[in-house]
């Protein structure tokens, strides 16, 4: 939490993540899937400031992104898992700042985040009936969105997962390195 306490303006950069997620240009997509901007922001933050700060800001970022797209699933569980995974890596920061390491961490993080979303949708879809004659699962109109019905999860879901994971892993060395450099310059007591 050192960086967060000394440089609170850096934490406000997380407000840009939902804006960038909405404004991703079409040329920066792969097969229609944009990069996973929350992963590209949370990874360098966890490496820069550790687990407690990453957990706090993962929760805030998840709330901001969930407010953009209200529904049955949440990004919070996946982001919290990523913060718990990446936070302790702060102690090994010099080895983690290499581009290949950042790309591999982003690849695993994007896959984990998307898999938590798919598991949540599957859990909602397999819910038992609430009353006699009631259909199991959530309202079919909610599941009619592409990528989140059982049929879409088995056909389009893996395609989107693969495209977003690959694109995020390719952008991670550039984006995460730039964010780490920005936060290093803003913090005079950086230990890296």
pLDDT mean over 114-142: 64
Report the distance separating Cα 28 and Cα 144, nearest Å.
Answer: 26
For residue 94, pLDDT over 50 is answered with yes
pLDDT at 39: 96
Q: Quick check: pTM over 0.75?
A: yes
Q: How far, CA to CA in Å, does 29 sit from each of 49, 120, 168, 190?
A: 30, 25, 10, 34
- Whether 178 shows a pLDDT value over 60: the answer reads yes
Other CB atoms closer than 10 Å to residue 112's CB: what's the count? Answer: 17
Residue 187 reports pLDDT greater than 60: yes
What percent of the chain has a predicted confidence (pLDDT) above 70?
Answer: 72
pLDDT at 172: 95
Residue 146 confidence class, pLDDT cut points 50, 70, 90: very low
pLDDT at 137: 47
Domains annotated for the chain, with CATH where assigned, are 2-186 (1.10.1760)
C-alpha atoms less than 13 angstroms from C-alpha of 121 in its C-beta half-sphere? 23
What's the token pair of residue 45? 């933050």
**CA quadruple 147, 150, 155, 161: dihedral, nearest 10:** 50
Handedness of CA 8, 9, 11, 12 (dihedral sign): positive
Q: Could you tell me how many residues make up the chain?
A: 192
Instruction: Please write the tens of the pLDDT for every residue from 104-126.
Output: 999 999 999 999 988 887 777 65
Of 44, 36, 3, residue with least CA distance to 17: 36
Q: Look up residue 156 and give its two tokens.
A: 């389009």
CA distance 107 to 82: 12
User: 50 vs 111, which has greater pLDDT?
Assistant: 111
Average pLDDT rounded to a whole number, residues 44-68: 90
Q: From CA 192, how far away is CA 184, in angstroms rounded?
A: 8
Distance CA 63, CA 31 (A): 27
- pLDDT interval class at 95 (50, 70, 90): low
Q: What stretches of the chain show up as alpha helix (H) in DSSP? A: 2-6, 8-11, 16-22, 37-49, 51-68, 76-86, 93-96, 99-125, 150-186
17 pLDDT higher than 70? yes
């Amino acid at each position: 939490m050192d960086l967060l306490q000394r440089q609170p303006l850096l934490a406000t950069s997380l407000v840009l993540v939902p804006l960038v997620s909405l404004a991703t240009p079409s040329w920066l997509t792969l097969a229609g899937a944009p990069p996973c901007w929350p992963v590209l922001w949370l990874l360098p933050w966890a490496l820069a400031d550790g687990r407690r700060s990453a957990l706090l800001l993962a929760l805030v970022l998840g709330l901001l992104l969930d407010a953009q797209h209200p529904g049955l699933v949440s990004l919070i569980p996946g982001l919290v898992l990523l913060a718990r995974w990446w936070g302790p890596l702060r102690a090994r920061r010099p080895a983690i700042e290499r581009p290949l390491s950042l790309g591999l961490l982003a690849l695993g993080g994007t896959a984990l985040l998307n898999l938590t979303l798919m598991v949540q949708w599957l859990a909602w879809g397999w819910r038992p009936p609430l009353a006699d004659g009631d259909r199991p699962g959530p309202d079919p109109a909610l599941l009619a969105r592409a990528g989140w019905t059982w049929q879409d999860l088995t056909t389009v879901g893996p395609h989107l997962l693969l495209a977003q994971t690959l694109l995020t892993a390719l952008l991670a060395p550039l984006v995460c390195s730039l964010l780490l450099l920005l936060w290093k310059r803003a913090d005079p007591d950086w230990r890296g």
